[in-house]
Amino acid sequence: MIILSIIADTENQKTNKMSQARFTNLDYLKEITGGEPEIMNEFIQMFFDQIPEFRDGLIKFLAEQKWKELGELAHKAKSSVMTFGMNDLGHRLKDLQLKTQKLEYIETYAVYVDEFVRIIGIAEEELREELKKN
């Protein structure tokens, strides 16, 4: 029983650490805006305006099996997410883009899109919190 309790505590600690990790990092945004809150807020708002295009477009192109368009939109989204410090997601979008260009591993495209949708939802919440600070 004690061992099970220790294992459970360890798993809970891992879960708590994971839930505390942020997907966004605004260091690059601060650098390019000079840390001006007003300009940063404008960039964040522009990103919010792009999110539906990225999310809905990726889902649509995946469903319609429009691989070229899926890759092109992944490329476009990559630049935006990397501006907000989501480098891992940016690299995953680059992987998706490259796979669509070669029509490789088509069965994995849905995983990339699902991952994007999940992470972008969390990132949007993080950025809304950031807006409240400014």
Any domain includes 99: yes
Q: What is the pTM of this model?
A: 0.81
Residue 126 maps to which CATH number?
1.20.120
* Residues of the chain where predicted confidence (pLDDT) is lower than 70: 1-20, 134
Q: What CA–CA distance (Å, rounded) separates 10 from 1?
A: 14
Please tell me the predicted confidence (pLDDT) of residue 21: 81
* Whole-number Å distance between alpha carbons of 93 and 95: 5
Structural contact between residues 23 and 126, judged by C-beta atoms closer than 8 angstroms: yes
Q: Report d(CA 133, CA 64) in Å as an integer.
A: 40
Question: What digits encode the pLDDT tens for the residues 104-130?
Answer: 999 999 999 999 999 999 999 999 998
Inside any domain, residue 15: no
In terms of C-beta density within 10 A (0-12 exposed, 13-18 middle, 19 or more buried), how is residue 61 classed?
A: buried
Is 87 contained in some domain? yes
Number of domains comprising the chain: 1
Q: Can you tell me which residue has the tokens 């999940």?
A: 118
Do the beta carbons of residue 46 and residue 32 sit within 8 Å?
no
Residue 68 inside a domain? The answer is yes
